[in-house]
């Protein structure tokens, strides 16, 4: 059971890649095949089981795209 | 109805407090410092706000901030300082904020002089800030009238959500006259300021005070709205004093201190058998154009007199609309004319006709 | 599972208008979160300035007024003097605070106005297309210093935190950055402290945030953050420059 879980509001994403850069588990990547309505490639989680719920991605996101949940 | 002897600048300060002044922001400049000096002494002990700002620019922006909070705010200055406030005044008018601005005119342009003049008529009525906006401008001629105007100015500003300017000159500011402070002013019904900022816990939703409308249609709509307001102000707030125009040989148009000088000139001319009437605009914006059509058709001419090189002259020409000959007499730089000079100007009217 | 991080109520639902990866977005969150967590959101009044953040009145979820370029501190002064019980803050960039508005900013600080100023230092004028700012680094290329800032004719980077540390009326002054999660959390702590000091009526508080402008610096958002860390902090060191602390109220 992963410690953390990320939920993305894809339409807010501007593809800046800060979340990808700062994820310590390196489990975020930009999906070059999917665009949101604004024309940006959205972010996907490659290995959700490895999420430790540090919320670094959400902290760095300038556009409040990511909600992070953790085990109680 | 007890009368007090008061200095003009001091009367301005007293009247503003009687008009419900909450906050004053200003910067020292000759010849109006007694306004802020009186308020420095009396506002704080009465639980109100007084602050000497670092510049006239800062002062007008402090006015904007306090006005956005729904308070009764005033600033005062003189010609070069009013020039500095033009940006702020445009923003205040655009954001539809109420405030009172007292302008005590001195000689210009530039650093100019410190003696009285009327060379800021354009500055007051045409505005030096950007965009289509108007400041409501009143020009009293006596200290009593200045007090009455100031007391009502805050209500007018609140009612229309617009800056109101009380325009006097250094002579009115510095002279002393006996006045009745208790004279009642016209009361208006004023709606609540539910647009003011005070924190979202104090009103529904968020209140935003703003003048930026990037979408051109939105900005045009905003301008149309402002113009509708100005039409209403023209209808309701035009103020003038008129006498003798039904049968006058000549009509003098003058405001403020110049009007008082012209009254003496008119008496002298009456003794010489020349009947002269007067139109004394009390509101400079809105300008009392309509009354000009009532000047009798046998009038030999209109003499516009100002302590300037001719600024109100434009509005006289517009109001006259080519109907009668228009002459001009003016002194400036701080020179205050004698009544005899105005008499001379009427006697030599044909030399003064504006072409 | 419980929520560890979500969009703050201190920001409205309006999508931010900033460029991808611009630190304005991060700092807006920090200001908004601070106000929300301190319970000050419903008494806050913000002053939006002129620059990329001119639309901040659409983003902060509180009462807002929009000021002419450079005048935010004067307007905040007017607001705070008549509404001393409200939390008043400004949000200003390099041009607004350090160039056209330097007089209004210094004098608000000098009077010890009980307001909080958030200063976004990205060493350039963003909104108008990348001109030189008073904070531009020597040798830095901008559209009005195309050969790089020449200190002989164009002056030196203006160090706001250093200058303001000399001003008596300043209660709390810290320079932070938004270059990585650790610095972002440090920045939030500073901003929260500034608002707390305002609530405790300690005086003028200013937080200078070293920020990025990826588009006008010609860098990716990630490289822009690296440039702040490696280059900007050489000229603008991070740290607390003034803290009146517990003794001064």
Q: Which one of A8, A19, A61, A62 makes the best mutation probe of the C interface by having the most chain C beta carbons within 10 Å?
A: A62
Closest CA to B97 of C79, C23, C235: C79
ipTM of the predicted assembly exceeds 0.90: yes
- Residue C65 preceded by cis peptide, ω within 30: no
**Quick one: residue B261, left, alpha or beta (phi over 0 = left, psi -120 to 50 = alpha)?**
alpha
Structural domain count of chain C: 1
B24 contacts on C by Cβ (under 8 Å)? none
Instruction: Locate B117 and state its tokens.
Output: 């003049």
Whole-number Cα distances in Å, A53 to A50, C26, C183, C225: 9, 19, 19, 23
Mean pLDDT within B333-352: 95
Helix pair C102-110, B56-68: axis angle to 10 deg: 70
Same domain, B233 and B244: no
Residues of C in contact with B206 (CB under 8 A): 12, 61-64
Q: What's the pLDDT tens digit per position in B275-291?
A: 999 999 999 999 999 99
Model confidence over C142-181: pLDDT tens digits? Answer: 999 999 999 999 999 999 999 999 999 999 999 999 999 9
Please say if the pLDDT value at position B292 is more than 70: yes
Q: Which domain holds residue A46?
A: 4-70
Q: How distant is the Cα of B220 from the closest Cα of chain C, in angstroms?
A: 19
Question: How sure is the predictor about B184, in pLDDT bands with cuts at 50, 70 and 90?
Answer: confident
β pairing state of B283-285 and B136-138: antiparallel
**pLDDT tens sequence across B8-20:** 999 999 999 999 9
Residues B220 and B267 in one domain: no
B252 with B283, same domain? Answer: yes
State the count of interchain CB pairs (< 8 A) between B and C. Answer: 127
* Residue A14 reports pLDDT greater than 90: yes
Chains in touch with A (3+ beta-carbon pairs under 8 Å) read: C
* C247: pLDDT strictly greater than 70: no
Q: How far is CA B267 from CA B224, B342, C91, in A?
A: 46, 11, 62
**Digit-coded pLDDT (tens) for C28-37:** 999 999 999 9
C vs A contact (3+ beta-carbon pairs below 8 A): yes
At residue C245, the pLDDT reads 81
Residues of B in contact with C66 (CB under 8 A): 95, 208-212
What is the average pLDDT score of chain A? 96
Does B49 contact C81 at a Cβ distance shorter than 8 Å? yes
Query: Could you give phi then psi for residue C4, rounded to 5 degrees?
Result: -95, -35
Task: Give the SS3 label for residue C202.
Answer: coil
Clarify whether residues B190 and B265 are in a common domain. Answer: no
For position A57, which CATH number holds? 3.30.70.20
In a domain, C13, yes or no: no
Of A18, A54, A58, Cβ closest to residue C21:
A18
CA of C35 vs chain B CAs: smallest distance (Å): 12
Listed by number, the residues of chain C in 161-180 with a beta carbon closer than 8 Å to a beta carbon of chain A are 180
pLDDT at B1: 63
- Rounded to an integer, the average pLDDT of B305-333 is 97
Tell me, yes or no, if C16 comes closer than 8 A to chain A by beta carbon: yes
Q: What is the mean pLDDT of chain B?
A: 97
- Which residues in chain B are contacts of C111 at CB distance < 8 A? 51
Q: Residue C38: pLDDT above 50?
A: yes
Q: Please give the residue range of the domain that contains residue C178.
A: 23-243
Whether B and A touch (3+ CB pairs < 8 Å), yes or no: no
The answer to whether residue C16 sits within a structural domain is no
User: C248 lies in a domain?
Assistant: no
Read off the CATH number of the domain in which B47 is found.
Answer: 3.40.50.970
* C39-75 pLDDT per residue, tens: 999 999 999 999 999 999 999 999 999 999 999 999 9
Picking from B205, B237, B269, the residue at the C-terminal end of a domain is: B237
At residue C60, the pLDDT reads 98
Contacting residues of C for B55, CB less than 8 Å apart? 103
The reply to whether residue A64 touches residue C11, judged by beta carbons under 8 angstroms, is yes
* CB contact burial C202-222 (16+ within 10 A = b; e otherwise): bbbbbbbbbbbbbbbbebbbb
Is A42 at the interface with chain C, CB within 8 A?
A: no
Measured between alpha carbons, how far is B191 from B195 in angstroms, rounded to an integer? 11
Among the partner residues B73, B88, B209, nearest to C65 by beta-carbon distance: B209
C56 occurs within a structural domain: yes
pLDDT tens track for C77-96: 999 999 999 999 999 999 99
- Range A1-11 average pLDDT: 92
Phi-psi bin for C196: left (phi > 0), alpha (psi -120 to 50), beta? Answer: alpha
Residue C153, token pair as written in the block: 């004719």
User: What is the pLDDT confidence band of residue B127, given thresholds at 50, 70 and 90?
Assistant: confident
Which CATH number covers residue B255?
Answer: 3.40.50.920
Which pTM value belongs to this model? 0.96
How many domains are there within chain A?
A: 1
Give the pLDDT of residue A1: 72
The share of chain C scoring above pLDDT 70, in percent, equals 98
Cβ distance A18 to C222 less than 8 Å, yes or no, reads yes
**B58·C103 Cβ contact <8 A:** yes
pLDDT of residue C246: 58
Task: Give pLDDT tens digits for B72-105.
Answer: 999 999 999 999 999 999 999 999 999 999 999 9
**What's the rounded Cα separation, in Å, for the pair C120 and C104?**
16
- Asked if A15 has any chain C CB less than 8 Å from its own CB, the reply is yes
Name the pLDDT band for B106 (thresholds 50, 70, 90): very high
* Subunit contact C42:B200, Cβ cutoff 8 A: yes
Strand arrangement, sheet containing C239-243: B208-209, C63-66, C44-48, C87-93, C116-121, C204-210, C170-177, C239-243
Q: Which pLDDT score, from 0 to 100, does residue B350 have?
A: 87
Q: Is residue C72 part of a domain?
A: yes
Q: How many domains does chain B have?
A: 2
Complete edge-to-edge strand list for the sheet that includes strand B301-306 = B240-243, B276-281, B250-253, B301-306, B326-330
Burial class (CB in 10 A: 0-12, 13-18, 19+), B239: middle
Same domain, B205 and B134: yes
Q: Which residue of B has its CA nearest to C106?
A: B54
Contact criterion met (CB below 8 Å) for B42 and B210? no
User: What is the Cα–Cα distance from C83 to C91, expressed in whole angstroms?
Assistant: 19
Whether C249 has a pLDDT exceeding 50, the answer reads no
Mean pLDDT for B257-285 is 98
Instruction: With beta carbons under 8 A apart, name residues in chain C contacting B207.
Output: 63
CA distance B163 to A34: 54
C5–A59 C-beta distance less than 8 A: yes
Which domain, by its residues, includes B314? 240-352
Together in a domain, B182 and B275: no
Q: For chain B, which residues lie within 8 Å of any Cβ of chain C, measuring from their own Cβ?
A: 22-23, 25, 49, 51, 53-55, 57-59, 61-69, 71, 73, 87-88, 91, 95, 197-201, 206-212
pLDDT tens profile C102-127 = 999 999 999 999 999 999 999 999 99
Tell which of B20, B68, B222 to mutate to test the C interface (max C CBs under 10 Å): B68
CATH of the domain at C73: 3.40.50.970
């Amino acid at each position: 059971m992963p410690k953390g879980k990320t939920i993305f509001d894809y339409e807010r994403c501007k593809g800046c890649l800060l979340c990808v850069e700062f994820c310590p588990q390196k489990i975020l990547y930009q999906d070059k095949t999917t665009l949101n309505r604004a024309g940006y490639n959205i972010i996907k989680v490659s290995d959700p089981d490895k999420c430790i719920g540090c919320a670094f991605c959400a902290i760095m996101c300038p556009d409040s795209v990511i909600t992070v949940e953790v085990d109680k | 109805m007890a009368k007090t002897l008061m200095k003009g600048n001091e009367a301005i300060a007293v009247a503003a407090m009687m008009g419900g002044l909450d906050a004053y922001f200003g910067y020292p400049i000759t010849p109006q410092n007694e306004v802020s000096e009186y308020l420095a002494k009396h506002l704080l002990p009465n639980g109100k706000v007084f602050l000497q700002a670092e510049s006239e620019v800062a002062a007008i922006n402090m006015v904007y901030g306090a006005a956005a909070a729904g308070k009764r705010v005033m600033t005062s200055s003189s010609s070069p300082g009013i020039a500095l406030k033009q940006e702020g005044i445009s923003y205040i008018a655009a954001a539809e904020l109420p405030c009172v601005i007292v302008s005590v005119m001195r000689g210009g342009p530039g650093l100019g002089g410190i003696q009285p003049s009327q060379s800021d008529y354009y500055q007051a009525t045409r505005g030096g800030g950007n965009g289509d906006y108007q400041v409501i401008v009143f020009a009293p001629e006596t200290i009593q009238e200045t007090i009455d105007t100031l007391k009502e100015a805050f209500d007018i500003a609140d009612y229309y959500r617009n800056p109101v300017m009380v325009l006097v000159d250094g002579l009115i500011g510095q002279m002393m006259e006996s006045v009745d402070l208790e004279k009642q002013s016209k009361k208006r019904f004023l709606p609540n300021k539910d647009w003011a900022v005070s924190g979202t816990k104090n009103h529904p939703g968020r209140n935003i005070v703003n003048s930026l409308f990037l979408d051109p249609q939105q900005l045009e709509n905003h301008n149309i709205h402002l113009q509708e307001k100005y039409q209403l102000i023209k209808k309701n707030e035009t103020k003038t004093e008129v006498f003798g125009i039904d049968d006058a040989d000549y009509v003098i148009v003058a405001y403020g201190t110049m009007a008082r000088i012209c009254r003496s000139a008119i008496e002298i001319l009456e003794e010489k058998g020349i009947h002269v009437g007067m139109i004394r605009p009390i509101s400079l914006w809105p300008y009392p154009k309509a009354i000009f059509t009532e000047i009798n058709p046998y009038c030999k001419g209109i003499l516009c007199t100002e302590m300037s090189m001719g600024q109100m002259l434009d509005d006289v020409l517009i109001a006259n609309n080519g109907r009668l000959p228009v002459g001009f007499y003016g002194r400036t730089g701080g020179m205050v004319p004698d009544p005899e000079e105005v008499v001379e100007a009427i006697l030599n009217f044909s030399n003064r006709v504006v072409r | 599972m419980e929520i560890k991080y979500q969009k703050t109520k201190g920001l409205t639902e309006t999508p931010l208008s900033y460029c991808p990866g611009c630190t304005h977005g991060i700092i807006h969150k920090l200001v908004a979160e601070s106000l929300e967590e301190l319970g000050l959101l419903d008494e806050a009044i913000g002053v939006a300035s002129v620059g990329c953040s001119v639309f901040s009145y659409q983003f902060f979820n509180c009462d807002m007024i929009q000021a002419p370029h450079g005048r935010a501190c004067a307007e905040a002064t007017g607001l705070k003097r008549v509404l001393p019980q409200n939390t008043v803050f400004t949000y200003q960039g390099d041009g607004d605070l350090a160039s056209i508005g330097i007089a209004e900013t210094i004098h608000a600080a000098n009077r010890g106005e009980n307001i909080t100023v958030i200063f976004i230092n990205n060493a350039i004028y963003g909104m108008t297309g990348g001109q030189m700012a008073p904070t531009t680094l020597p040798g830095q290329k901008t559209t009005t210093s195309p050969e790089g800032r020449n200190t002989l004719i164009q002056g030196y980077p203006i160090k706001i935190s250093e200058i303001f540390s000399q001003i008596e009326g300043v209660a709390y002054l810290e320079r932070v950055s938004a270059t990585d999660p650790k610095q972002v959390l440090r920045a939030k702590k500073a901003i929260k402290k500034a608002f707390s000091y305002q609530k405790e009526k300690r005086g003028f508080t200013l937080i200078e945030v070293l920020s990025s402008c990826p588009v006008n610096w010609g860098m990716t958002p990630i490289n822009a953050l690296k440039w702040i860390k490696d280059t900007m902090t050489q000229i603008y060191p991070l740290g607390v420059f003034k803290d009146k602390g517990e003794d001064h109220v």
